[in-house]
Structure 1
Amino acid sequence: MDDRISDTPPFDTVLVANRGEIARRVIRTLRRLGIRSVAVYSDADADAPHVREADAAYRIGPAAASASYLDIDAVIEAARRSGAQAVHPGYGFLSENVAFARACGAAGIVFIGPGERALEVMGDKIRSKAHVQEHGVPTVPGFSAAGMTDAEIERAAAAAGYPLLIKPSAGGGGKGMQVVRSATDLPDALITARRIAAASFGDDTLLLERLIERPRHIEVQVLADARGTVIHLGERECTLQRRHQKVIEEAPSPVVDAGTRARLGEAACAAAASVDYRGAGTVEFLVAGDRPEDFFFIEMNTRLQVEHPVTELVTGIDLVEEQVRIAAGQPLGLTQNDVRLDGHAIEARVYAESPARGFLPAAGPVRLWRAADAVRTDAAVETGSVVSADYDPMIAKVIAHGADRHEALARLDSALGDTVVLGVDTNLGFLRTLLADPAVQAGELDTGLIDRLPAYTDPPPGEAALNAAAALRPESPGRAHASALWRAASGWRASLPAPDTLVAVLIEDGEIRTVTPAPSDAAAVLDDEGWAWVHADGSTHRLRALGRREAMEHRLRGRDGEASATAPELRAPMPGAVVAVHQADGAHVRAGERVLTIEAMKMEHPVLAPHDGILSLAIGVGDQVRRDQIIAHVSAEPGRETS
């Protein structure tokens, strides 16, 4: 099938201009091809796994992405110093940045990606939509807001008809998208979309499109070489999304038949050929939920996608290898007739976030990491890694393959239950709940399915988890020890109860359970605050063993819980940066009003007033805040009580 028989590597040295799991994944293929790999890193990533796994590594700046991974001059200088002949951009960061591709060319370095024309045309949602329309590719009705005043946008929106979806023209990944169901919602949505677009992409131009209710999100993987050959590798179903971010992806789609697959592939190849595409790319479509044969072009991603592993598992094709070979000028080693889909593959994205707390981003040290066996796991972390609030919250991808969709789903669920991440909250439990949903099992999907699910709650810990936590009761503060043996996690000692004594275990939601300590094979570690992180029975829990006095004090404090709900302090629900303050210092605010917005890991989270009162701000726009840091006070007005 592949007529590229030379054993000579396409390049001697390739720099990977990215971080995390995608950098590690690219490095694996480079090593297999006999190519020397070069990593780059920010100060936050100095000890990251991708840095150690590369053959060489270069610092490119401080933690902020804008001053490191997005610094074109710093990346080019690292490539020059390392002797790299080519740069693989991964995804995100500079992967679709035409200025970066141009800078690579000026430095005599090969950019492993498409040419400048493809980046320019497909990097702009407005331009790309108009362009593919001219080549017979169906598109969603809508209009560009470029150069329009808000009043003109309002008139055009009314003519187009609600509901509408506002999208930043220059970006992807769902950032900045706003759903507008009526004219009254439009002004605020425009402000939010522009702010996020400007911050994320440096361009606040907007595109407004008709919102297709209950759509499916289907994308097609394409490969194209410099000789004009374009093929597709089938489709991926990426419909399960939250906040326009993909959560579960699979290949092939459960609703696409052979005929529709051929039509989707033909449209995707036409879109790629229209810009003389070169390399691996993805053409994304919206598919009507009740008519899967009807599809509309959304955009083309001119890079590798996060979900590319599901295509690799069903086709047996290494997409990174194809990218590297195409960039080196080699022809595709296969034709469209050579592409076969074998079985079914499903990928789940593991995020550092707290689903039970409204999916707030999480950060901190990973005290224990263990990947599941018998599936593919592409991970950004390992034991000892630190999840930073500076970057995207995705820390791993778990990908399962089966003979059919039912088998792939079962294998993925089992693998998620066996994946251990202790020290940082993750969405592993939520992913398993999502996979078990009857609609997901049946393949009856739409992009709003996750939003309609009941609020997620963590499962209660079982006996194995409670026993593990009881065995890891922390030492009393300030207590010194003559030997490290006193800090052992098992065995009786004077500072702990005897093995047959009941131990009170505090669950994070405030409930106290009692357990008689017994042996447990659960994975468990203590954090610096004395909480035990435990993985048992396929779930993760954060628990704390209490002494008798601690348990009594906690129960007494619980009696005053209702009163504490009206405490004047307003605390940061997550670590991040304050990007907007919506109320003036000293203003009277009502319960539920937005006070400020915190951004972390590419997500914005509004902080609301807990009750009526007078606002006293403790922070300003641009400030970095810690989780639970006091950011404001909402005090009762004189003569009035908060409620």
Structure 2
Amino acid sequence: MASSMFDTVLVANRGEIAVRIIRTLRGLGVTSVAVHTASDAGARHVRDADLALEIPGYLDGEAIVAAARASGAQAVHPGYGFLAENAAFARRCAEAGLAFVGPPPDAIDAMGDKIRAKATVSAAGVPVVPGGAEPGDSLEEWTDFPALIKPSAGGGGKGMVLVRAASELPAALESARRTARAAFGDGTLLIERYVADPRHIEIQVLADAHGNTVHLGERECSLQRRHQKIVEEAPSPFVTEETRAAMGAAAVEAARAVGYTGAGTVEFIVDGTTGAYHFMEMNTRLQVEHPVTELVTGLDLVELQLRVAAGEPLPFAQDDVRLRGHAVEARVYAEDPARGFLPTGGRILALHEPASGSGVRVDSGVAEGGVVGSEFDPMLAKVIAWAPSREEALRRLDRALAETVLLGVTTNVPFLRGLLVHPAVRAGHLDTGLVERILPDVVPAVETPGDVLAAAALAFHALPQGADPWEVTDGWRVGEPAWTTWRLETRDGVHAVQLRGLPHRGAEVRVLGDAAASGVSASDPALTGEPVVPPVPARIRQDGSRLAVTLAGRTTHYVQARHGDTLWLGRDGAAWAVTRHLIGDPGDRPGAAGAGDGVVRSPMPGTVLVVKAQAGEQVDEGQPLVIVEAMKMEHTVTAPVGGVIAELPVQAGQPVDMDAVLAVVTPAAANPGAGPAVDPAVTGEEG
């Protein structure tokens, strides 16, 4: 049969999604068209595409259709974001004579509404989780706890809230409904019985317009935080051949029940004790975690999507599908595990990703010099490893993450490495609550290692030397060389490091730590003659972004980047920002104020979503004041002390930077004339 592949395809997405689709289009010899906003003109997906057009926004369907027609594209690939599951957008593409690389609009409608989807697949004989839904049911009267609230129109875990008791239900419904309206434009909710020891296992399905529907096995997606997937793998270490066949057949029936075509994922919640499985939802698009399926099947799912959209039949049958080896994927996010996984941001000063090949694959949407903002999802890249066995795949993925260094933006890479080596993960004993239970074991410490402080001081000290011998900063003086003291600020405080000599020729260095940072002269070994920390010989070699530091005969290699007075150092997947601190008083740095002073700062860059108090109001310690939203995630900021709100300089809709002042609460002890604390339940304010 002659190929009917498109000549030109517009990719209606950005970041790693668009980059990955463009890669397949290039391999097929198809012209790729990217779209971008004005602020995203220099993004990697724009540079990778054959043609790029500016649009007002990535969810502006009319602008995207106009761009597709202007570029001469015959098809639009919506990526795997919101437009991929937007039936109205799919219909608009058809009206404009463009092929939509996805399922029919009616299938999107049927599966996009979780309530309708459950009814549809239940009628087809697929088991579902017991629950209730609006508008027919009053969710406030639900009594079967623990329970899970979900936006009916949602996906990707956004807006899902676990409720353990009836007392938590009203606040949970409010938060879920608000998130559902903001993210999906529909506040309708459903509630389901929470399955004990749940495993999240999904089945990849493919269907063409000629009546052929197959499944490509399962993916284990149980490693999650806040219902957001972190690590996925294929096949699942839990699923047997018999269970795979049964779940695969159920997924195929679910797809057929709505006349599905293209690539889709049927998600199941599985009881980790009994093995019983229940339909959760169907994502009518390609999933972020699809690479693990590609690596164990040898198939390119984006290519198959394109061929089905072009009218071609699937080139294989169910009996032809074989799973080979094991694949594991880790999602690299711009987030700070030590601060509750809040989103981060900034300019990417240096980037080193592992080379693809030898069982390693990197799907990345970032580039050196790019800016990570708060308006998009915090996922930056995916690192995937394949090997003949699961154990080897996990080791290979850990090595690949160790080679991943991103400077300028805090990421979760060290956390991912800690997670992958945890005994429960290694053994495959997974459930959707595991990550939350083992967080203390896998979240990396915030303390900056002494060898990193020493390396930073040496790098700062290695300034270009002039011809005048008096300009050489080696500490020379008559008798013994003098020590130079550097005060270095990191996220865990201000540290004192002393050195003498020239780092590139040979020097001595000693790290004095926090205690000496604010008053190092009082205990300066150069003054007292009583060294409190023995010095070690040191030497550095610099070559652009590479820094080799030798301490006491042991050499460590770093990636380095500078931004003003801040030096970023990265190694083994971790990164540290070290700033030259000249004052020496930890209280002088931004954000260093303690909780007792009543200053409330934004924990992340984002947008003020809701202001739940007002200036002059009496508040209790822990009372919600402001809700900040970034990258589709809400964070409630509470009063650090009881007292009166003296300042509230923000309003709903206002963008804020990390550590921006959101409120100032005058502590009750400093306001003795204040009346008794006001009960929010009495005033009607939300507590």
Deviations 1:415-450 (A, max 9, x none): 111101000000001101111111101000010111
Q: Does 1:111 align with 2:100?
A: yes
Deviation at 1:502?
5.8
| 1:365 counterpart (339, 347, 350) | 347
Contact 1:364 1:388 in 2 (8 A): yes
Q: Does 1:532 align with 2:567?
A: yes
Which residue number corresponds to residue 480 of structure 1?
none
121-130 or 332-341: bigger deviation: 332-341
Contact 1:69 1:93 in 2 (8 A): no
Deviations 1:361-399 (A, max 9, x none): 001100111111341011110111111111000000000
| 1:593 counterpart (623, 630, 633) | 623
Which residue number corresponds to residue 395 of structure 2?
410
Counterpart CA distance in 2 for 1:387 and 1:37 is 24
Q: Does 1:508 align with 2:491?
A: yes
Q: Does 1:30 align with 2:61?
A: no
Residues 382-401 of structure 1 mapped to structure 2, 5 A cutoff: 382-401=367-386
Deviation at 1:588?
0.9
| 1:623 counterpart (654, 675, 683) | 654
Contact 2:338 2:446 in 1 (8 A): no
Which residue number corresponds to residue 637 of structure 2?
607
Which residue number corresponds to residue 139 of structure 2?
153
Number of aligned positions between the proteins: 608
Which residue number corresponds to residue 208 of structure 1?
191
Which residue number corresponds to residue 481 of structure 1?
none
Change (3 A) 1:562 1:44: closer
Counterpart CA distance in 2 for 1:568 and 1:556 is 15
Deviation at 1:539?
2.3
Counterpart CA distance in 1 for 2:327 and 2:43 is 28
Contact 1:14 1:87 in 2 (8 A): yes
Q: Does 1:420 align with 2:402?
A: no
| 2:284 counterpart (302, 307, 318) | 302
Change (3 A) 1:636 1:238: same
Counterpart CA distance in 2 for 1:416 and 1:287 is 29
Deviation at 1:578?
0.6
Counterpart CA distance in 1 for 2:411 and 2:364 is 13
Contact 2:586 2:592 in 1 (8 A): no
Residues 78-477 of structure 1 mapped to structure 2, 5 A cutoff: 78-148=67-137, 152-155=138-141, 157-158=142-143, 161-292=144-275, 294-373=276-355, 374=357, 375-455=360-440, 456-458=443-445, 460-462=447-449, 465-473=452-460
70-79 or 139-148: bigger deviation: 139-148
Counterpart CA distance in 1 for 2:235 and 2:54 is 40
Query: The residue matched to 1:118 in structure 2 has which SS?
Result: helix
Change (3 A) 1:418 1:585: same
| 2:667 counterpart (600, 624, 636) | 636
Deviations 1:28-68 (A, max 9, x none): 0001101000000012211001001101011111xxxxxx1
Deviations 1:286-333 (A, max 9, x none): 0001122x1000000000000000000000000000000000000000
Which residue number corresponds to residue 20 of structure 1?
15
Contact 1:465 1:536 in 2 (8 A): no
602-611 or 497-506: bigger deviation: 497-506
Amino acid aligned to 1:415: A
Which residue number corresponds to residue 55 of structure 1?
50
Counterpart CA distance in 2 for 1:26 and 1:283 is 22
Q: Does 1:575 align with 2:605?
A: yes
446-455 or 243-252: bigger deviation: 446-455
Instruction: Tell which structure's C-alpha radius of gyration is larger.
Output: 2
Query: The residue matched to 1:518 in structure 2 has which SS?
Result: strand
Output the TM-score relative to the length of structure 2: 0.84
Change (3 A) 1:452 1:640: farther
Counterpart CA distance in 1 for 2:613 and 2:428 is 45
Counterpart CA distance in 2 for 1:512 and 1:325 is 59
Amino acid aligned to 2:636: P
Contact 2:569 2:575 in 1 (8 A): yes
Change (3 A) 1:200 1:493: farther
Counterpart CA distance in 1 for 2:465 and 2:135 is 68
Contact 1:465 1:535 in 2 (8 A): no
- Supply the RMSD in Å over aligned alpha carbons: 2.5
| Contiguous gaps of at least 5 residues in structure 1 | 62-67, 476-483
Change (3 A) 1:335 1:579: same
Change (3 A) 1:592 1:328: same
Which residue number corresponds to residue 551 of structure 2?
none
Deviation at 1:564?
4.1
Change (3 A) 1:133 1:492: farther
Deviations 1:259-299 (A, max 9, x none): 0000010000000111111000000000001122x100000
Deviation at 1:575?
0.9
Contact 2:595 2:641 in 1 (8 A): no
Query: The residue matched to 1:470 in structure 2 has which SS?
Result: helix
459-468 or 581-590: bigger deviation: 459-468
Output the TM-score relative to the length of structure 1: 0.90
Deviation at 1:178?
1.2
Amino acid aligned to 1:38: V
Counterpart CA distance in 2 for 1:557 and 1:620 is 27
Contact 2:610 2:628 in 1 (8 A): yes
Counterpart CA distance in 2 for 1:446 and 1:606 is 27
Deviation at 1:88?
0.3
Deviation at 1:224?
0.5
Contact 1:214 1:288 in 2 (8 A): yes
Query: The residue matched to 1:382 in structure 2 has which SS?
Result: coil
Contact 1:14 1:36 in 2 (8 A): yes
Counterpart CA distance in 2 for 1:134 and 1:153 is 23
Amino acid aligned to 1:367: L
Query: The residue matched to 1:291 in structure 2 has which SS?
Result: coil
Counterpart CA distance in 1 for 2:200 and 2:482 is 56
Which residue number corresponds to residue 554 of structure 1?
585
Deviation at 1:565?
3.6
Deviations 1:503-526 (A, max 9, x none): 544332115253625225233444
Deviation at 1:623?
0.8
Amino acid aligned to 1:378: D
